[in-house]
Structure 1
């Protein structure tokens, strides 16, 4: 189990699956990040999602430390280990948006990925209309690397997918002394 100032990042438990399913069954949540159809999610989705989570290099459930309230999840998935490039994913339940939890968890995962998992880069994809997420990623150090033009059908229109990444050299340059902490 890992901790930040306000959060606990822990393993996935079977008791979390209903909370995750409820999070994904929120229209705004699905539209803000997912590439698949925005539709109600049932038990079959939750089982597939759980299998995906178990296959990740790092997968954590995010909860608020004081209240133990469910906040969301985060992951690093590394399909090709040789390149030491992990795909970053985060999902924050809508009731927790705007509290800074996404920034806190993202910063921790990026730091952990480079310090403890010896990653060379961390990559992600975000819908261009998700300005809050893009701002968060830039704040943590991710840079826009390209766009997949009209890569997602969302709310009756085509929107771009923004590809972002951070490499270990750029991450290390942002932190004055890596030996502390």
Structure 2
């Protein structure tokens, strides 16, 4: 278990499944997702899917608010190519906690931890074109746009692009020397 200014970072526990289900069922959160965004019934099957996903991740942090102990969301790292020390970041924050800096705090800690303790040389992610808030956070932290999957996400009756972003270990260390 780790802590930052506002968050507790801990491993996955079965008790997180209701929080994950609520998170992934939130229409505002669903708008930011480009893959299996909706938590479909039967919910027990979806919970099992998310449990398998969490337990299969190279790194999983359930995010809990330090003062209220409310479930805030999760961050995960999945190793894409071990030979190339390349991984993918996933971040999902409950809409109740948007605009408070928790996404930035969670992303910064998770990426730093992955570079420092996993020996990765790059971390990438995908973000939907309309998720300006997340794109701003990722850019501020040092991620760069690397490409686009044109018309890769159907949302609200129209297509939008999925933007691929990434950051390299030396870029991260240069931008975050006090934590790298």
The verdict on a shared fold, with TM-score over 0.5 as the criterion, is yes
CA-CA distance at 1:79 after TM superposition: 3.2
What residue in structure 1 maps to residue 139 of structure 2?
138
What residue in structure 1 maps to residue 69 of structure 2?
68
What residue in structure 2 maps to residue 7 of structure 1?
7
CA-CA distance at 1:177 after TM superposition: 5.3
CA-CA distance at 1:25 after TM superposition: 0.9
Q: Are the aligned partners of 1:2 and 1:9 in contact in 2 as well (CA < 8 Å)?
A: yes
1:29 to 2:65 alignment: no
In structure 1, the residue corresponding to 2:153 is in which secondary structure?
A: strand
Unaligned runs of 5+ in 2: none
Q: Are the aligned partners of 2:25 and 2:39 in contact in 1 as well (CA < 8 Å)?
A: yes
CA-CA distance at 1:58 after TM superposition: 0.5
Question: How far does the alpha carbon of each residue in 1:62-103 deviate from its partner, in whole angstroms, 9 at most, with x for none?
Answer: 011122111000000003211111100011011111111000
What residue in structure 1 maps to residue 151 of structure 2?
150
Q: Name the CA shift for 1:39/1:69 in 2 (closer, same or farther; >3 Å).
A: closer
Distance 2:97 2:16 in 1: 16
Distance 2:47 2:38 in 1: 15
CA-CA distance at 1:26 after TM superposition: 1.0
Distance 2:15 2:68 in 1: 16
CA-CA distance at 1:12 after TM superposition: 1.1
Question: How far does the alpha carbon of each residue in 1:1-33 deviate from its partner, in whole angstroms, 9 at most, with x for none?
Answer: 011111100011111101110111111111112
What residue in structure 2 maps to residue 43 of structure 1?
44
Q: Name the CA shift for 1:167/1:32 in 2 (closer, same or farther; >3 Å).
A: same
Q: Name the CA shift for 1:101/1:178 in 2 (closer, same or farther; >3 Å).
A: closer
In structure 1, the residue corresponding to 2:119 is in which secondary structure?
A: coil
Distance 2:104 2:87 in 1: 18
What residue in structure 2 maps to residue 166 of structure 1?
167
Distance 1:143 1:17 in 2: 32
| TM-score normalised by length of structure 2 | 0.94
Distance 2:112 2:37 in 1: 32
Q: Are the aligned partners of 1:31 and 1:38 in contact in 2 as well (CA < 8 Å)?
A: no
CA-CA distance at 1:176 after TM superposition: 3.6
Q: Name the CA shift for 1:107/1:43 in 2 (closer, same or farther; >3 Å).
A: same
Kindly tell me the number of residue pairs found equivalent between the two proteins. 179
